[in-house]
Amino acid sequence: MTSTPMSKHFILLMTFAVGVMAANIYYPQSILGLIAASLGLRPDAAGLIMTLTQIGYGLGVLLIIPLGDLVENKKLILVMIAVTIVAEFTLGFSRAVAPYFLASILAGLGTSTVQILVPYTTHLYGKEQRGQIIGSLMSGLMLGIMLSRPLASIMTDMISLHAIFYFSAAIMTALLWYLAKVLPRRQPENLGLKYGALIGSMKDLVLNTPTLRRRSLYQGLMFGAFCLYWVTVPLMLINSAFQFTQKGVALFALAGLAGAVVAPLAGKMADKGLARRASRLAFSAGILSFALSHFIVEGSMFSLAVLVLASNLLDAGVSMHLVLGQRAIFMIDPKNQSRLNGLYIGMLYVGGAIGSAVGAWAYLHGGWGLSTAIGALAPLAALILLHTETAFKYQEAS
């Protein structure tokens, strides 16, 4: 692929596509309690909805996304978007646990298309620009995540519990039509591998790629903290002295938009050789976020302002390291980008699935205090591990 920059229109299109696809995972997050009640689930099992979606996403990035190194990328992208459309319609129609859970897994599986689009787009640019391009795409991802929660809350409050899923299916159908018209084909280099050998090769990539292992662990910890926070904070705001409605939760969810702003900045820092410094900033932001959140007084307007600040810090930290991690692994070997990205995102979403489940459990059994205490441990562990890199003579490619 040429490294000549493409039009701004194409980058905006890819950023939009990444955002609307990523949103499918997070639409249920702010309405988990209502969905659980409609399905007859116990409150402490509500986190299963998010966990299953993230498991589906993890399966997609581990089993489907590696195909980006083997088969024509445009066709793969379009097929996976079609899978997502089917899943969203099913979520809209489902009124029983079994089909809803199955559709949740399928939605996660289809939404993993995001991680085909990222390496697909970076192939169009030189190494010296990749941090900035990934940053632009990740700003779309963060906007999709942040806007998905308030949009789901508002549509639930104004229309119905299932309206958001019909809306998503319609948007994804329009996206499928447009991408089919404008995406260029990309046939990856022939690796001479069958599908089984392609998937089997991922074990060797994990064993022989320390950058992948490090960056995946860091981001798994950060994303676990992120999911824990955004599963528990709507529950706290609704069930505490704050007495938020779904509309209030929707407005609060807009607080984390700073993550979309700092993603391109993190990419630029990495392109200038400042990836380690940016990583320290990302992890420190996560720690500070939970520290501030832990000591709030429920019902206090000052504490609400502190929560807004904490949300911005956490989302900024998570999006910063997501960009830093992807840039690091995309510098390794162009022939392996889809598999490396699949492994990175797969391990990230294992952390997210654990964080969602632990968050719902922690809030039910120990309230907000236990939730934030557990959440703070994840970015703290990432920061400590970052400082072991020198001791183990670990060094990333620049």
What domains, with CATH codes, occur in the chain? 8-386 (1.20.1250.20)
- pLDDT value at 262 more than 50: yes
Place 85 in a pLDDT band, splitting at 50, 70 and 90: very high
Read off the pLDDT of each residue in 381-391 and give the average, rounded to a whole number. Answer: 85
**What is the reported pLDDT for 190?**
65
**What is the reported pLDDT for 170?**
96
**What is the reported pLDDT for 191?**
66
Read off the pLDDT of each residue in 284-295 and give the average, rounded to a whole number. Answer: 96
Q: Quote the percentage of the chain above a pLDDT of 90.
A: 36
- pLDDT value at 93 more than 70: yes
**What is the reported pLDDT for 195?**
86
- pLDDT value at 217 more than 50: yes
Q: Report pLDDT digits (tens) over 66-83.
A: 888 888 889 999 999 999
**What is the reported pLDDT for 6?**
54
- pLDDT value at 397 more than 70: no
Rounded CA separation 258/146 (Å): 10
**What is the reported pLDDT for 136?**
83
**What is the reported pLDDT for 268?**
82
Mean pLDDT of the chain: 85
**What is the reported pLDDT for 259?**
63
**What is the reported pLDDT for 24?**
92
Place 28 in a pLDDT band, splitting at 50, 70 and 90: confident
**What is the reported pLDDT for 4?**
41
- pLDDT value at 138 more than 90: no
Instruction: Read off the pTM.
Output: 0.77
- pLDDT value at 250 more than 80: no
**What is the reported pLDDT for 396?**
64
If one compares 326 and 149, the residue with the highest pLDDT of the two is: 326
User: What distances in angstroms separate CA 230 from CA 30, 37, 125, 356, 372, one per listed residue?
Assistant: 8, 19, 34, 8, 11
**What is the reported pLDDT for 267?**
81
- pLDDT value at 238 more than 70: yes
Read off the pLDDT of each residue in 7-22 and give the average, rounded to a whole number. Answer: 88
Q: Report pLDDT digits (tens) over 302-347.
A: 999 999 999 999 989 998 999 899 888 888 877 788 888 888 887 8
If one compares 39 and 284, the residue with the highest pLDDT of the two is: 284
Read off the pLDDT of each residue in 133-152 and give the average, rounded to a whole number. Answer: 84
**What is the reported pLDDT for 140?**
87
Rounded CA separation 33/336 (Å): 41
Which of 300-309, 351-360, 389-398 has maximum average pLDDT? 300-309
**What is the reported pLDDT for 303?**
93
Place 258 in a pLDDT band, splitting at 50, 70 and 90: low
- pLDDT value at 198 more than 50: yes
User: What distances in angstroms separate CA 244 from CA 30, 149, 252, one per listed residue?
Assistant: 12, 14, 9
Contacts of 275 (CB under 8 A, 6+ apart): 269, 324, 327, 328, 396, 398
